[in-house]
Structure 1
């Protein structure tokens, strides 16, 4: 935030000591928490009724220290985007990622799945990874649901099951199973190379700091779920979230309008490369905590 104790110490010309640094860190935390608390109603009023307001604010408080260098406007805009979609900024449904002093709203794979579930015709959504030694088969000409089969080797550890070879996703709609979306690594790389502007920019500037560089598997998973969006009933809200995902990847995009709220895209006309992003940690492929995942174009 602006005018922090750290700024005042620097302005006074006082060399920071170990004790001073500790005080500064505490002051930064206290300041960010006070800032968030003063605007709590602003965010909670934007939440859908089914989202627990206290829990949302608890998650928001947990990420505030990582956003201490970001502008008030970008934090406000990003948190409001999370609230209006009803997604927690926990790194799984959505993330707020600091690019230098700009906080950026980034939908994650579980956020896409969450919005699919909200459609009254969608009964369930499934995502999983196929590992090398798993039993699986895909016969696209067979009738659903006999066209696809996957049985993980539960008698083996994840390492013993071998490396991930496929990501897949499908949904049950009105009691019938949708087409199965299957994506291998080379297909995910083709999506990355063709569509991701962030990846191309990170390659060109040599930083290699795009999410495709830092967390390929999460982007592979989200690519599969993004393709599933095309075969499930799509709400206006889900279409907006997909657009927000595209805008997060497109560093030259104009401000994204999300249900009446402009998500800040500061310095959008600048030719300077964006600073490296602090991408959240995601579950590893096939782990027990990664039962559902989500195309970043």
Structure 2
């Protein structure tokens, strides 16, 4: 008699109902997909022309099971925000995160980079981490682009390269490199402690469920990229994304996968925009002690 048969005989003799395997609520999934399909035109009509509508809806369908307890209104609002900015809710450009019964739009650092490209003067945008054993140098008084150098140790694994010590971001604009935005861990912590309402609320409630608690590196990366908004030509659309991000601060806590990013002009369609300065302060050099203006995360 096999072990499986023995188990069944023993279970029957005990007169106890067998343990049932976890089941997916197919009716619930079908209902959520039907709901999304019935409103597809709301979202696709809001998308910029360069965003593939079928792909956007495919990504939206993939996240619907995670939003089963959220209200229709909050899901509609969050997905419309993604569509309006032309950001896919894939956890890379943007995310839709359930908090209780509320689905919340959360832009990610790659979403900021995506919108930066829509200014016709921006050629490329770069983000990366500097680790302990990497080769790097920063001399702010040297002429660009000789002021900053970073060469990752490709002969080592990411773990062997050591801990992250800096996040940095810069752009090439009209053939020239922008100021390099450099953010060390202590600066990221200072931003968190001073400006994040979500972090303060989570600390008060001892829940430790804010984005700064659940994925510090994701917020560190976004903080560096958000500062780049202050030193590149930006659009009204990008300024609105900063504001939407600030508005979501009290309720969001988003996970993310962070890695170096280099995107070139050939990968992107562009749109017209106007130069604006909005949101975060002009970046101070690491260790300079320079006072930073108002910023919020």
Q: TM-score interval w.r.t. the shorter chain?
A: 0.7 to 0.9
Distance 1:18 1:48 in 2: 47
Deviation string, structure 1 residues 123-153 (Cα, Å, up to 9, x no partner): 0000000000000000000000000000000
1:113 corresponds in structure 2 to: 113
Measure how far apart 1:292 and its partner are. Answer: 5.7
2:248 matches 1:291: no
Residue 98 of structure 1 contacts residue 278 of structure 1 at CA under 8 Å; is this kept in 2? no
2:103 matches 1:133: no
1:29 corresponds in structure 2 to: 29
Return the TM-score normalized by structure 1.
0.80
Distance 2:174 2:166 in 1: 27
Distance 1:162 1:95 in 2: 29
Deviation string, structure 1 residues 150-179 (Cα, Å, up to 9, x no partner): 000001111111110000000001111000
Distance 2:238 2:208 in 1: 30
Residue 121 of structure 2 contacts residue 174 of structure 2 at CA under 8 Å; is this kept in 1? yes
User: Using a 3 Å threshold, how does the CA distance of structure 1 residues 209 and 245 change in structure 2: closer, same or farther?
Assistant: same
Distance 2:148 2:81 in 1: 37
Tell me how many residue pairs correspond in the alignment.
Answer: 248
Residue 110 of structure 1 contacts residue 292 of structure 1 at CA under 8 Å; is this kept in 2? no
Measure how far apart 1:234 and its partner are. Answer: 1.2
Distance 1:134 1:156 in 2: 10
Measure how far apart 1:190 and its partner are. Answer: 0.3
Measure how far apart 1:291 and its partner are. Answer: 2.4
2:9 corresponds in structure 1 to: none
Distance 2:44 2:242 in 1: 23
User: Using a 3 Å threshold, how does the CA distance of structure 1 residues 240 and 278 change in structure 2: closer, same or farther?
Assistant: closer
The within-5 A match list for 1:165-244 is: 165-244=165-244
Measure how far apart 1:279 and its partner are. Answer: 3.0
Greater gyration radius = 2
Distance 2:122 2:103 in 1: 33
Distance 2:206 2:62 in 1: 32
1:49 corresponds in structure 2 to: 49
Measure how far apart 1:42 and its partner are. Answer: 1.1
Distance 2:262 2:87 in 1: 15
Residue 197 of structure 1 contacts residue 250 of structure 1 at CA under 8 Å; is this kept in 2? yes
2:83 corresponds in structure 1 to: 83
Distance 2:101 2:35 in 1: 16
The within-5 A match list for 1:89-108 is: 89-108=89-108
What 5-or-longer segments of structure 2 have no aligned partner?
Answer: 1-18, 264-279, 281-295
Q: SS at the partner of 2:23?
A: helix
User: Using a 3 Å threshold, how does the CA distance of structure 1 residues 292 and 206 change in structure 2: closer, same or farther?
Assistant: farther
Deviation string, structure 1 residues 265-289 (Cα, Å, up to 9, x no partner): xxxxxxxxxxxx6734x225xx4xx
The within-5 A match list for 1:146-165 is: 146-165=146-165
Distance 1:250 1:22 in 2: 34
Which is bigger in relative contact order (C-alpha 8 A, separation at least 6)?
1
